[in-house]
Structure 1
């Protein structure tokens, strides 16, 4: 691997710096964390790839601290959660790697609470969902690991509701979509696990419509893209599952466009990148599937 072009082995994570520049993180063939960044906000040119070291075994999860510093989390060879962070907002130098302990068996999912504290979720060796969090915004100390129970079979996906409460989604041992949520913003207690039904064969992708309702996408047993959504912002009830068709071979990735329309990307049976989009913000109808070409060896990712 060289600084000019990194060879990546897992899905990447993309986060926007506080000055508006995008930064991309990925696991290299040497199992180190590599990153590349825009040198100007909203446009090129891009830097060369640079290594942040480490010896990792999962895709990274990057997040922006409330004070503007990026922080990246990944599983180490000891199955602990490791992290590294910028010492200054949107700039180097970076810290060294530090362990947050635990014994995790999935990619981590990191997010900032509405009060600015980071929180990370991952599946444990018991297949339950575990989490760890900062006790103060953008600083240590960190809590100990705590279990949220459940029995999940994939990587968790976390999103923040429009009222500030975190909600986590994951595929259960019955292949249904399950979720659990904070009952108050940035604090416990947490709800019990609840099933949203379905029969899914991928990790879920979660996004918020421009009106604040969460919407979840996943691949079904027929390899089509299926979705389910809140009928009211940050609250039940949820819709029934509905098919968006297609024939996909990867986890989907959902993205909200600047005009409020949702768009979903996935790898097709031809290994090309395919996408489908809403024709109007936060409502149907949806377009047909369209190919963006290419040859993908991993799941796509939108920022």
Structure 2
């Protein structure tokens, strides 16, 4: 099904509070655009709508605990911006872009913690992994905090069965898979990175999912000419 044209980068999707699919993408004009289902007719989509701005990486949307989608984007001058729906389930009414921090050198990755607050991870200009978390009111973000380490590309993160967020990165030196885990549920502090081993290929860790027992499975591309698909099951604490 051909939905639209003039897409300038990879799309990213999130569910609206009523279950409609909302798809965000960088347009050929570098602005942030979206489409969504018409009502609950899942095979019919709206015409594209521009949210403006100028973005330089794939957007990262997440539906927070207030019922509003937050989209994290990398803007000009390596600045992290967020844009949020004005109210619960307001698919077509949005706040203005908000500047959260600078020194962002990768695509930002948004995920939810156990309280359904948005956590945004990115690679900083110092090569370390960084995080910025949504405040309790769901309306703004706290000051960004370094998770340290030296990483390649963007981090990815997933909520584990213990209620803690697990942030995965590709190490800068040995290109192994590393993970940093929240010290306790819904708290800002993270444990030091643990080396999970392996040698990751040309891509970065993205595919993380919980199995039926809520243990995390991480799929990565291996190094070498074979470009094999590798699976790591959760054994870390």
Residue by residue over 1:111-139, the C-alpha shift from the partner in whole angstroms, topping out at 9 and shown as x without a partner, is 12212322111000111011111221412
Q: How far apart are 1:195 and its partner, in Å?
A: 0.7
Aligned to 2:79: 80
Q: Is the 8 A contact 1:117 1:137 kept in 2?
A: no
Matched, 1:200 2:200: yes
1:161-212 per-position Cα deviation (integer Å, ceiling 9, x unaligned):
1221001001111111011000211114311111111111111121111210
CA-to-aligned-CA distance 1:210-258 (integer Å, 9 cap, x gap): 2101011111122121111115xxx54xxxxxxxxxxxxxxxxxxxxxx
Q: Deviations over 1:55-76 (max 9, x none)?
A: 1111100011211111111011
Residue 143 of structure 2 is matched in structure 1 by 144
Query: Is the CA contact 1:216–1:228 (under 8 Å) kept in the aligned structure 2?
Result: yes
Q: Using the alignment, how far apart are the partners of 1:225 and 1:41 within structure 2?
A: 36
TM-score by length of 2: 0.92
Structure with higher Rg: it is 1
Runs of at least 5 residues in structure 2 that lack an aligned partner in the other structure: none
User: d(CA) in 2 for partners of 1:164 and 1:94?
Assistant: 30
8 A contact 2:72–2:108 mirrored in 1: yes
Q: Give the Å deviation of 1:42.
A: 6.8
What SS does the corresponding residue of 1:100 show, helix, strand or coil?
strand
Q: Distance in 2 between matches of 1:6 and 1:89?
A: 29
- Structure 2: distance between partners of 1:99 and 1:46: 30
The match for 1:40 is 39
Local SS of the residue matching 1:130: strand
CA RMSD of aligned residues (A): 1.5
SS in 1 for 2:232: strand
Q: Does 1:227 align with 2:231?
A: yes
5+ unaligned residues in a row in structure 1: which ranges? 237-303
Q: In the aligned structure 2, how far is the partner of 1:189 from the partner of 1:145?
A: 12
Kindly provide the CA deviation profile for residues 56-101 of structure 1, in whole angstroms up to 9, marking residues without a partner as x.
1111000112111111110111111011111022223111112112
Q: State how far apart, in whole Å, the 2-side matches of 1:71 and 1:167 are.
A: 20
Ranges of 4+ aligned residues in structure 1 off by more than 3 Å: none
- Please name the residue that 1:183 is paired with: 183
